[in-house]
């Protein structure tokens, strides 16, 4: 067996193992207050039908351990998952499936940058680590961070390779997911923006940037739809944060306001 075939066989076995670990006894998944509230919010959206009625889309989602509510995207994702499966088990199954699907995509990204051994080690840890397994099979916003980050690194890779329009679309969608699924997401995105901007400026000075090609129609559609979704879910959450911070003193939010 050639080396490439051994690598592909290893990736296949890791993906199968990851799927088995995540779907084994899925009915015994953790289901407590947060998971129940997430599904209740999803069912509230489906019952009120804000896309055809005067009902308002939610401004926020689950309450975090810091007391501030999470952004509202996860409510709509849960509503979509419920529409497709009509059960809490089905919603958790979709989350588990998306995490498993991220592994070969992450390997394809990592192999030319880390080498085959490190790429296999990376997805092996994500596939088999108990922490990674537990936090990729329940109804919780953070469970979708791996697919979101996989999308982000592919967007960065396409930007570096000169496919700017495709990269912009992928990074906009990744920005939506990462910023809405975890409160620390904006910090990560700011660090990525600084690093990518610095790299782009350095390559521009060295005249190593590729020429910007005209976008294809589907690249423009992908970018436009991503920007629309980002604004749709971010603006209501900013309003929520604005109302939250109105308890101020001397022009600055108090600890209670924050």
If DSSP states are collapsed to H, E and C, what string results for the chain?
CCHHHHHHHHHHHHHHHHHHHHHCCHHHCCCCHHHHHHHHHHHHHHHHCCCCCCCCCCCCCCECCCCCECCCHHHHHHHHHHHHHCCHHHHHHHHHHHHHHHHHHHHHHHHHHHCHHHHHHHHHHHHHCHHHHHCCCCCCHHHHHHHHHHHHHHHHHHHHCCCHHHHHHHHHHHHHHHHHHCCCHHHHHHHHHHHHHHHHHHHHHCCCCCCCCCCCHHHHHHHHHHHHHHHHHHHHHHHHHHHHCCCEECCEECCCCC
pLDDT tens track of the chain, all 258 residues? 688 889 999 999 999 999 999 999 888 888 888 889 999 999 999 999 999 998 899 999 988 887 789 999 999 999 999 999 999 999 999 999 999 999 999 999 999 999 999 999 999 999 999 999 998 999 999 999 999 999 999 999 999 998 999 999 999 999 999 999 999 999 999 999 999 999 989 988 888 888 888 999 999 999 999 999 999 999 999 999 888 766 544 445 555 555
């Amino acid at each position: 067996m050639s080396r490439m075939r051994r690598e592909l066989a290893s990736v296949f076995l890791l993906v199968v193992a990851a799927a088995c670990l995540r779907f084994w006894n899925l009915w015994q998944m953790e289901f407590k207050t947060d998971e129940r509230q997430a599904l209740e919010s999803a069912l509230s959206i489906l019952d009120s039908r804000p896309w055809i009625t005067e009902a308002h889309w939610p401004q926020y989602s689950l309450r975090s351990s810091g007391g501030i509510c999470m952004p509202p995207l996860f409510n709509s994702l849960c509503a979509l998952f419920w529409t497709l499966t009509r059960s809490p088990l089905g919603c958790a199954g979709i989350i588990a499936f998306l995490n498993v699907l991220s592994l070969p995509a992450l390997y394809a990204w990592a192999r030319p940058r880390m080498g085959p051994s490190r790429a296999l080690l990376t997805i092996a840890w994500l596939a088999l680590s108990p922490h990674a397994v537990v936090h990729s099979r329940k109804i919780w916003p953070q469970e979708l961070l791996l697919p979101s980050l996989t999308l982000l690194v592919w967007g960065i890779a396409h930007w570096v390779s000169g496919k700017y329009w495709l990269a912009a679309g992928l990074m906009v969608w990744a920005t939506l997911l990462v910023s809405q699924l975890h409160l620390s997401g904006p910090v990560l995105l700011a660090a990525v923006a600084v690093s990518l901007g610095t790299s782009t400026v350095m390559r521009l000075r060295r005249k190593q940037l590729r020429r910007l090609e005209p976008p294809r129609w589907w690249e423009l559609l992908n970018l436009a739809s991503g920007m629309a979704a980002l604004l749709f879910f971010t603006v209501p959450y900013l309003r929520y944060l604005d109302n939250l911070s109105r308890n101020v003193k001397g022009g600055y939010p108090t600890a209670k306001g924050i």
